[in-house]
A and B are shown apart, each in its own frame.
Chain A
Amino acid sequence: MSSSLFGAPLARDIFFAFSPSLEPEALLKRLSEVPKLAGVTLASRLEIRAAPETVSSGISEIDTLIGRLPRGCLTEVCGPASSGRTSLLLAAIAAATRRQEICALVDTSDALDPPSAPAAGVDLQRLLWVRCCASNREGHDFSRANKTFPKTRTLAPEKKKNAKSEDAVEQALRVTDLLLQSGGFGLIAIDLGDVPIKTARRIPLTSWFRFRRAVEHTPTVLLVISQQSCAQTCASLLLRLEGEKLSALSYQRSVNAHFGNALDSMVGVSRAEEVFANPGTSACEVPNHAQLLQGLSIRAQVLRSRLERKPVKSDHAAFRTKMPWAG
């Protein structure tokens, strides 16, 4: 009965719709009038997603490389220890607070060094610092925790450490959810830099999908720093950082193959140059108090970008960080 009532007119409409005598415009119009296709948007009318608004990361080399940080997207920065991840994070927060935006740092490992933030230019009044920590059980939902874990449990040290990290990561995810729902933040940063890779990879992909959907169409920059990529395809931009060189004020020398064996230029310190130029003088003989860590040379590489804009020159760039006392 249903086919006799609805099937015949539909078939006739489609027949008319695909009649070669119709113009393309009329064809589209005709198609949209078909009852079954009324709610379906034609592929030809799908809007092209607009390129997201971008903001400065606070480091011009990074901005040149990635075309600045996109709003409404998840950006992930990964790298090992001493690769400049935290420096980039603080630079991005500083740039955001200079724009008078409110920022939030979800510090999974409670690793923020308070003096480093103002030294990087962060307006502390505009930075919400959330210190996740597994050891602090105050304010926890004990009823839920007791159901999940037995009251007395003896874990091996490594397992205990992982369990603590998982607690901290769980807190971080819940806090990020709340912050994204609250809205109004210019930048929300999740610091997973000290979370073990194993734990970070156990974060469900659904969480990252949820974050990506929550931050979409908002002016918030969602920045994640980690040791290795954990947001997978949910990250619109994936940036990898590596330490290249160590800069010291008195002298700079290669410290291993990774940093390169080339002697870097002396930073206008003739005394240190003399000491190092003497082949018979080892580094140990140089007074250690005459040396000063000046900064790091960082190499950044774009691993994945889903933005419209392609990198300007290449997929990598280098920049230097300076210690607060080095100006």
Chain B
Amino acid sequence: MRDFFRGFGAVFYKEVLHVRRDSATLFFSLIIPLLQMALLGFGIDTNIRQIHTVVLNADGRRQSRELIDRLKNSDMFNVVRYVDNDQDLNDTIIGGQARVGVKIPVDYSDRLLHQTSAQVLVLIDGSDSSVAGQAINVTTAIGLDESLRRVLADRNAMAVEMRPKILFNPDSRSPNFFLPGLTAILLLNVTTFLTAFAIVREKERGTLEQLFVTPVRPFGLLLGKLLPYFGIGFFELCLIVSAMRFIFRVPIHGSVLLLAFLSLPYIFVSLSLGILISSKAGTQAEAMQLAFLTILPSIFFSGYIFPRETMPLIFRGFSYFVPATYFINITRGIILRGAGLQHLWTDALALFAMGTSLLFIAARRFQNKVIMS
């Protein structure tokens, strides 16, 4: 077993030396993300359909079912779950499975039948400001529509009142929404690029070939190269989260420690991705292009800019293979919705599984590639 990781210590120490020697690159790779953050910290608006919705129908009679049908028919809401208590309603939203919760009170039908006005509570996840804004508009419109319909049919009928309540980001600040997501993108940027470059540089220099002539083992080599960048990635995360909290004033509702802990599997995935890229790329320019190929899906398919709800089915399916999807759910969950481990452990597990499989694929490719070249 010891032999399996042979050379790990030596490679690790050498890698730390590389990083220290090239402090300019390190400085820029840590500072540039902060600049990007400042640029992107301002809102971008998008159109939304098919918002994941959870329904608590305490009434259950015909009138309440009609209202739910109307919500569904608006194309705006996609009811993904029905629950029967407030606790589940809240958890579904905190866990990120639904962005809107509709609660129809037990006396909804009674009130309408007795010609008094009925109220429906609409809980809206404010951690996605564009979703939130549109959800308010459409629910209010449906309420108005339902009221008009009733009044037109029967002069004595009373209105249905939709009472929206925005959770988590009540003032709908777009930085609150964008910055937690941006964290995932920036982290990927730094770690994937740095790792890919660090290895491809050895290829370009021919030192990789030299290393493979020594008794160093692939896993000792890869882990030794990985760990320093793991540290850098983690440091970058702390930097970004601090800037977000203290410069952009995004309140963190959940546990910062949990955020730090759950970022580990994500950094692991980003590094493994970097190694996989370096097993394919022969030059740094090639590595750069491949790295961009991984960054783009992370921006467009992870829900960072465009809510995943609005994506065509094929892209939404694809989004499950994008690591940033899971980490964005983790950051938004913890920072904006105060989610705990019980809501996010599946995301963390998915990331860990991805990282492990990527690392194994990379290590195998590597060995074959280097030896055969």
A binds B: no
B residues whose Cβ falls under 8 Å from a Cβ of A: none
Q: Please list the residues of chain A having a beta carbon within 8 angstroms of any beta carbon in chain B.
A: none
